[in-house]
Structure 1
Amino acid sequence: MKDFIYNEMMVHVPLCTHKEPSNVLIISLNSAGFVAEIQKYKNDDISCDVLSADINLLREAADDKYDVIISELETDAAVLAHFNRVLKDDGLLVTTHPSLDDVSENKRIMQILGKYAKIIMPYNLGNGETALLASKAYHPTADIILQRTDLLDGLEYYNCDVHPAAFATGNNVRKEYLGVIKN
């Protein structure tokens, strides 16, 4: 699959879910594609910090600073606690995670996220993989900012129809993750 689909889905899903994203943290060894997608928000005042995938740099980030975190950092309890610490009260996190076929590892991650977020949902990245969205306030299908999605120029994949469709899951996933996915 094309990299542009992955980049668009990792960036635009959280930025079009959060009511007023102004501070974004990207944690990635290859952040250029994410940064390019954030720059498409010309009418919004969004600042973006980029960290390499290093937990030590995350430890230095200020408390309650970010509205959105987009991460490719391998997650464990310590990393998720730092994400919670640096996210604002209405913040949301999008992170990569193991395949949904790895049920025990994903349940572990989702249960930890459940301590910090009201909503935890996997979504399709358009390339056969999924990401996890964890939100302290906003629901990714109920709170989508349609005007923001419609005003974005230069997108090749993401749109206001793809956004909610990305959260559709089969019955096998619903059954396997019953009580862990919070939507």
Structure 2
Amino acid sequence: MKEFIYPEMMVHVPLCTSKNPQEVLIVSDNIDLLAKEMLKHNDINTRAVECSLDAIRNLDDSSVDVIICEMSSDAALLAHINRVLKEDGQLSITHPSLDEVEANKAILHILGKYFKVIMPYNIGNGSTALLASKEYHPTADLNLHRADMLDGNQFYNCDIHIASFAMGNYIRKEYLGIIKN
């Protein structure tokens, strides 16, 4: 896989879904990869923390517009993410393969308590992330101006953004009633 696809998809999909992101939090043990991609959004303040529940627990309530998270999710993490996100916040989070249905259903049920929209999207090499949104829909509310005005992308654009949410029927059937779109 081209090494630029993953960071472009993890960063730009939630940022181009959010109406006016000002504060972004990256939760990763490989922060540099995602932080480098954030530099393309020069008007956004970016904070980064290591994958640690304590690091997230210490953040202020409703202080972040977008969270990009590579930490394994559980109920405690997702509750703190919900607390930290603003009322129209976005979350892009890695998760087990969509083939690991029971593990994903558990995550999706927890996310469903906090988010209006929860959709898997392709991030390259057959992998997916979850986009969870409290307000905006990732295809209906795509900020085309922001998506198309980003300089230096090798993969991401507005067409890729929309296409990344296309899933086969077997995925739709397996997750029917759990994925919220």
Task: Tell me the residue number matched to 1:123.
Answer: 121
Write the deviation string for residues 111-137 of structure 1: whole angstroms up to 9, x where unpaired: 000000000000000221000010000
Give 1:74 deviation, angstroms: 0.6
Give 1:167 deviation, angstroms: 0.1
The TM-score with structure 1 as length reference comes to: 0.98
Task: Write the distance in 2 (CA, Å) between the matches of 1:5 and 1:127.
Answer: 9
User: Where does 1:33-72 land on structure 2 (aligned, <5 Å)?
Assistant: 33-42=33-42, 45-72=43-70
Structure 2 segments unaligned to the other structure (5+ residues):
none
User: Where does 1:105-116 land on structure 2 (aligned, <5 Å)?
Assistant: 105-116=103-114
2:177 counterpart of 1:176 = no
Amino acid at match of 1:2: K
Of residues 76, 79, 83 in structure 2, which corresponds to 1:78? 76
Give 1:73 deviation, angstroms: 0.5
Task: Tell me the residue number matched to 2:87.
Answer: 89
2:141 counterpart of 1:143 = yes
- Count, aligned residues: 181
2:9 counterpart of 1:9 = yes
Task: Write the distance in 1 (CA, Å) between the matches of 2:48 and 2:98.
Answer: 27
SS state of the match for residue 98, structure 2?
coil
SS state of the match for residue 112, structure 1?
helix
Q: Which runs of 4+ in 1 moved over 3 A?
A: none
SS state of the match for residue 3, structure 1?
coil
Task: Write the distance in 1 (CA, Å) between the matches of 2:158 and 2:165.
Answer: 13
The TM-score with structure 2 as length reference comes to: 0.99
Structure 1 segments unaligned to the other structure (5+ residues):
none
